[in-house]
Structure 1
């Protein structure tokens, strides 16, 4: 992100709790920074929407940087995931800014942006934790974590417990549910009769591959 856009975002954050990610906030940020309106619009063609996206991505970067500086080797994998989600939420200075963002991305015209940001956060967590999957599991891991993360954010927004202890308990339960599902899948794979029955669908799914870097397509199909 350019320095000018960083300044614009910083200026906007003091207005978001009151005016949301709106034109009022964007124009106030322009006034506060003294940037030329044309330059500000060049940096953010959609105004405050682009700033909301930049804010989310800033939090993602802070999470990744903190994970890189933290020794997670002694933790169970489920606890590494929980730590990553916790770091992501702790990157937020004011919950009202996130609440306003969720209101924005709930609008139909911005829904795809919100879904993309959620997916990118899940992807960054898996990559930071060393995920090397390149098949259908690449998609299922990110889809599952997206669900866990979004549910945890909603719970966290209404959590008034000390140090958000209730949120971390909620997160642990959600991850526990995911681990039960993973165990269920492992039990299925250990059942020869069931695997023979599902051979056709599994062969089809086995051709799906994770997207390659800088690939324009969301995935690939092995011939």
Structure 2
């Protein structure tokens, strides 16, 4: 699904980051990046039609890729699954060098016209974590796992942005509490699926849920936020 970033976009991203803390992911920061990277405006616009927004998206996607690489090099032996998820979330935060850059990105993707893009990025992070940890679900669970972790990860980032504790100790504790919520939800789902929570009354719902399938591995067009041309 992931393709190598355009070299021009990568160069512009490196150039814009020092400006983001002061100017945000703004047109001004984008223009400064063009000048610093010594790239023609035409080439910059061709690589980034939406300017700094495209670079903010690339910044987030590179963070996901760095998290996946760090997770692949982690020793997860003996860890409970909930601890693996918590470890992945911590790795995702640890790959961020500048908290202010993320804060500015959070502000950017809170804008109404960019909120769907921001939700898609958070979903992508949740998907990267579940996939890296070996999730093999191919039904409605594929969606619910990612939806739940997306909500949890979003709240963790907001908490982390305001955390002033030494070594982000308060964020660590918050991560543990929220991941416990994810695992509790998964346990409830399993109980419902086995008719252990609400009994046979859930059977019709279970049959309906069984009709939902995960996106095909051959295409990402079924992912939330992806437009499928009906033609």
TM-based fold match above 0.5: yes
Kept after mapping to 2: 8 A contact 1:189/1:195: no
Separation in structure 1 between the aligned mates of residue 8 and residue 197 of structure 2, nearest angstrom: 61
Partner of 1:54: 58
Which of residues 69, 82, 104 in structure 1 aligns to 2:73? 69
- Residue aligning to 2:229: none
**CA drift at 1:86:** 0.5
- Could you state the TM-score of these two structures normalised by the residue count of structure 1? 0.94
Structure with the bigger percentage of helix: 1
| Residues 15 and 33, structure 2, Cα contact 8 Å, conserved in 1 | yes
**Where does residue 22 of structure 1 map in the other structure?**
26
Q: What is the match of residue 97 of structure 2? A: 93
Structure-2 residue corresponding to 1:102: 106
Write out per-residue CA displacement over residues 43-81 of structure 1, whole angstroms, 9 at most, x where no aligned residue: 000000000000000101100111111121221100100
1:139 and 1:193, CA in 2 relative to 1: closer, same or farther beyond 3 A?
closer
Q: Distance in 1 between matches of 2:165 and 2:223?
A: 40
CA RMSD of aligned residues (A): 1.5
- In 2, Cα distance between equivalents of 1:207 and 1:68: 33
Instruction: Find out whether 1:197 has 2:198 as its counterpart.
Output: no
Q: Which runs of 5+ in 1 are unaligned?
A: none
Equivalent of residue 217 in structure 1, options 198, 203, 222: 222
How many pairs align? 219
The reply to whether residue 146 of structure 1 matches residue 150 of structure 2 is yes
C-alpha distance in 1, partners of 2:109/2:203?
40
* 8 Å Cα contact 1:156-1:164 kept in structure 2: yes
User: Residue 157 of structure 1 aligns with which residue?
Assistant: 161
Cα distance between partner residues in 1 of 2:196 and 2:202: 10
- Aligned-pair distance for 1:25? 0.3
In 1, are the aligned partners of 2:195 and 2:202 still within 8 Å (CA)?
no
Question: Using the alignment, how far apart are the partners of 1:108 and 1:31 within structure 2?
Answer: 30
TM-score, structure 2 as length reference: 0.90
Q: Indicate how the Cα distance of structure 1 residues 91 and 177 shifts in structure 2: closer, same or farther if over 3 A, else same.
A: same
